[in-house]
């Protein structure tokens, strides 16, 4: 008999399973509004022009394939920190941060989760917004942490339940970990306004909570990288030393190249060095060192002025197309004669929209 006789069949992934079902469907009218990857107006994947240019530039340099350091490509991690924090950020300029390259958003989140499990002895609980990206829960759980939630989405209004969130957060025990979506909340598309972020920051600070930001859509949400990073930067300015996970899957279309970064804002550069040394100890037994290709493309774009300019235009282009789809969907629904309020479709931001459709309607 087999060693694996008792292994249960795992359920299909709820998100990726939708795409599999789509692929199996033979109907000519089929559409896939499931998995989170950008599509152009022809419904096709979009390789950014700045990405193609960066790839050509890289190819012309004929570099070797030597192992990266455990923490990844330095040009990439530095540029990622600057992109998130802003070049004028005191935290960035003083060097009181550590940024390591991670395997896109998931890998970056997991590094942080493992780091917290090992070193954040004060708390085991991670508070997620309700709802959150489906993979957050298993990531933190597999890292050995416990999951809790705070109210976030109000299904009656299809918008933010701000008072509910504030109530719940005000009661989170001190030294718990709270996860916040920096922008373009996944799956609801509902983001706090800036005044609301300010109140959240004040409450979180008062409750002495450890803040972990997941930023998977910088630039992709509003079309403006600074606007999308506003919450992260505000929290840091308020003296909240956050953890941050970044992904370049969507905003640079680098999905399968797995480019991401994990950052810890520290008290000072010396602490950052200690934290970095421990992150290396965590990463080495996971995959030794990260893949170069995506990080090198991203670094080339961020660090080459012309390419960076072009990228900002292209990411805005993607964001604008999404915003225009929202607008047109609402106007078309009205044209179809719907008297239901669809304002949430245009109020929400980013790739996803919580339509309000019930399971039977889905």
To the query of whether residue 133 is one of the catalytic residues in this protein, the response is: yes
Q: Which is nearer to another protein, 19 or 148 (CB)?
A: 19
Bridge partners (DSSP) listed for residue 264: 98, 243
Q: Could you count the other beta carbons within 10 Å of the beta carbon of residue 198?
A: 15
Strand order in the sheet with 97-103: 97-103, 259-265, 243-247, 210-215, 177-181, 125-130, 146-151
Under the criterion CB under 8 A, does residue 257 sit at the interface with another protein?
Answer: yes
Under the criterion CB under 8 A, does residue 160 sit at the interface with another protein?
Answer: no
CB 192 within 8 A of CB 151: no
Q: Of 74, 119, 326, 286, nearest to 210 (Cα)?
A: 119
* Residues contacting another protein: total by CB under 8 A: 78
Q: Footprint of another protein on residues 165-184 (CB under 8 A)?
A: 175
* Alpha carbons 315 and 350: distance in angstroms, whole number: 12
Under the criterion CB under 8 A, does residue 278 sit at the interface with another protein?
Answer: yes
* Part in contact with another protein (CB under 8 A); list of ranges 152-160, 185-193, 228-236, 263-271: 263-271
Q: Which is nearer to another protein, 289 or 348 (CB)?
A: 289
CB 186 within 8 A of CB 215: no
Under the criterion CB under 8 A, does residue 275 sit at the interface with another protein?
Answer: yes
Under the criterion CB under 8 A, does residue 195 sit at the interface with another protein?
Answer: no
Under the criterion CB under 8 A, does residue 290 sit at the interface with another protein?
Answer: yes
Under the criterion CB under 8 A, does residue 40 sit at the interface with another protein?
Answer: no
Instruction: Report DSSP letters for 44-84, one per residue.
Output: -----HHHHHHHHHHHHH----PPPPTT--HHHHHHHHHHH
Q: Which is nearer to another protein, 85 or 266 (CB)?
A: 266
How far from the centroid of its chain's Cα atoms is residue 353's Cα?
A: 16
Q: Which is nearer to another protein, 223 or 290 (CB)?
A: 290
Under the criterion CB under 8 A, does residue 236 sit at the interface with another protein?
Answer: no
Under the criterion CB under 8 A, does residue 91 sit at the interface with another protein?
Answer: no
Give me the active site residues, please: 133, 214, 250
């Amino acid at each position: 008999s087999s060693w694996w006789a008792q292994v249960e069949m795992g359920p299909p992934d709820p998100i990726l399973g939708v795409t599999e079902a789509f692929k199996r469907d033979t109907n000519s009218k089929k559409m896939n509004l499931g998995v989170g990857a950008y599509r152009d107006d022809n419904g096709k994947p979009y390789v950014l022009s700045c990405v193609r240019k960066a790839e050509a530039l890289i190819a012309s340099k004929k570099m070797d394939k030597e192992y990266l350091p455990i923490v990844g490509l330095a040009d990439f991690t530095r540029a990622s920190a600057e992109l998130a924090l802003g070049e004028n950020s005191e935290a960035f300029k003083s060097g009181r941060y550590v940024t390591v390259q991670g395997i896109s958003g998931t890998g970056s989140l997991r590094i942080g989760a493992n780091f917290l499990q090992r070193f954040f002895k004060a708390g085991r609980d991670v508070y997620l917004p309700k709802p959150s990206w489906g993979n957050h829960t298993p990531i933190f759980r597999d890292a050995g942490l416990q999951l809790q939630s705070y109210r976030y989405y109000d299904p009656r209004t299809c918008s933010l339940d701000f008072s509910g969130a504030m109530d719940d957060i005000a009661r989170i025990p001190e030294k718990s970990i709270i996860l916040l979506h920096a922008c373009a909340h996944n799956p609801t598309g509902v983001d706090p306004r800036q005044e609301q972020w300010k109140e959240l920051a004040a409450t979180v600070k008062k409750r002495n909570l450890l803040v972990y930001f997941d930023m998977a859509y910088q630039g992709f949400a509003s079309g403006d990288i600074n606007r999308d990073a506003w919450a992260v930067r505000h929290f840091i300015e308020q003296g909240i030393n956050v953890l941050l996970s970044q992904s370049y899957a969507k905003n640079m279309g680098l999905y399968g190249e797995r480019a991401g970064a994990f950052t810890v804002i520290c008290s000072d550069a010396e602490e950052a060095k200690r934290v970095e040394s421990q992150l290396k100890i965590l990463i080495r037994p996971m995959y030794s060192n990260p893949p170069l290709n995506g990080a090198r493309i991203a670094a080339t774009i961020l660090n080459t002025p012309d390419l960076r300019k072009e990228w900002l235009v292209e990411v805005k282009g993607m964001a604008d197309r999404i915003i225009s789809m929202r607008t047109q969907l609402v106007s078309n629904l009205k044209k179809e004669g719907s008297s239901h309020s669809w304002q949430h479709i245009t109020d929400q931001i980013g790739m996803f929209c919580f339509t309000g459709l019930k399971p039977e309607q889905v």
